[in-house]
Structure 1
Amino acid sequence: MTLDEILDRIYPLPESSKANLKKSIEEVSLPRNFCLMEAGKVVPSVYFIKKGIVRAYASAEDRDITFWFGSEGEPVVSMKSYVENNPGYEHIELLEPCDFYRLKTADLQQLYHEDIHMANWGRKFAERELVKTEELIISRQFKTALERYRDLMRNKPDLLKRVQLGHIASYLGITQVSLSRIRAEMK
């Protein structure tokens, strides 16, 4: 996905504002299994996925709990680091080799101070991330694993082909055996 497409999905910017933003963005390529963000560390950048898939997870006792997948066009951000400049609680792991657009948070904050259009873009960015988080929480609280699986099939069908079943089961909050049963019932 192109940088312009990603930026415009968040909030359309005047060309001069977009040009200034693009000056602060660099492309990076990282290998599969790379840990893009680590829990307990401040993450000084926001990433936008050009190509690839990542997962966000938290470690609990002897297992990892996947709570989010990101793919092409989506931002990858530790909101705790972005908003408060404090260590985040999540790990972000690359499930495929990934190409990103990387933007240092300090550069982005400076642009917010200099340009009202950028400040509005930043507000829309944060609002979209808040809505995604709200949807995730509501889904976890009020939907069954089968309903969450159906949502995943409907909203991100490519993930089912590109992500290990163990990560999908963790995301759904079930065991791999339960996921196999759900998949068998749906056939």
Structure 2
Amino acid sequence: MFTFSNSEISSLISLRIKRAFLQKARRLELRENVLLLSPGRYQEHLLFVKKGIIRCYYKGFQSEWIGWFAAEGDLAFSTESFLNGSPSTEYIETCTLVSLYQLTRQDCQDLLREFSDLNQVGIDTSFRRLENGINTGALIKQT
């Protein structure tokens, strides 16, 4: 089964929703440093991290900027690409061995229509990501 890292979000997810999710989701095991998304590409799957760490970063001017990290229980996706269908401006990559579930955009939309409680999970995830970015600032690494 899967659980969200945030207990408030996890409490919104019923056993019925978890079963529906697992029926639609595909489980993947990936090694370290697997590039899941790069600029100009489209993210077609929502990623749910079961184990391991994924990072989002940007490159430019001989530097890398970290956008966010996703660990066990977190969702990992490009907001612009997955939600808006725009080409990505970011990289998403595994940092460790990763076990994850992936859900297509269509399956995600179907679940959101069937289980309206899931909309709150998306809102909470977005606010948490925004808050973490504001509190920590961008991490920069010279390349």
5+ unaligned residues in a row in structure 2: which ranges? none
Higher Rg: 1
The runs of 4+ residues in structure 1 deviating greater than 6 Å are: none
- How high is the TM-score relative to the length of structure 2? 0.83
1:10–1:48 CA distance, 2 compared to 1 (3 A): farther
Structure 1 position 40, deviation (Å): 2.0
Distance (Å, rounded) in 1 between the aligned partners of 2:133 and 2:76: 18
Q: Give the number of the structure whose residues are more often strand, by fraction.
A: 2
Structure 1 position 137, deviation (Å): 3.8
Structure 1 position 138, deviation (Å): 2.5
Structure 1 position 136, deviation (Å): 2.9
Distance (Å, rounded) in 2 between the aligned partners of 1:124 and 1:57: 26
Structure 1 position 104, deviation (Å): 1.0
What corresponds to 2:117 in structure 1? 120
Q: Is the 8 A contact 1:10 1:124 kept in 2?
A: no
Q: Is the 8 A contact 2:27 2:102 kept in 1?
A: yes
Aligned partner of residue 119 in structure 1, secondary structure: coil
Structure 1 position 59, deviation (Å): 0.8
What corresponds to 1:9 in structure 2? 10
Distance (Å, rounded) in 1 between the aligned partners of 2:10 and 2:127: 15
Q: How does 1:26-175 map to 2 (within 5 A)?
A: 26-113=26-113, 115=114, 118-121=115-118, 123-140=119-136, 171=139, 173=140
Which residue identity does 1:6 align to in structure 2? F
Distance (Å, rounded) in 1 between the aligned partners of 2:65 and 2:141: 10
1:100–1:10 CA distance, 2 compared to 1 (3 A): farther
Q: Is the 8 A contact 2:65 2:141 kept in 1?
A: no
Which residue identity does 1:13 align to in structure 2? S
1:10–1:126 CA distance, 2 compared to 1 (3 A): farther
For each residue in 1:103-138, what CA deviation from the matched residue of structure 2 results, as whole angstroms up to 9, or x when unmatched? 11111112333x1xx2321x1222122212321342
Structure 1 position 29, deviation (Å): 0.7
- How high is the TM-score relative to the length of structure 1? 0.65
What corresponds to 1:152 in structure 2? none
Q: Is the 8 A contact 2:63 2:141 kept in 1?
A: no
Distance (Å, rounded) in 2 between the aligned partners of 1:73 and 1:137: 19
1:85–1:18 CA distance, 2 compared to 1 (3 A): same
RMSD, matched Cα: 2.4
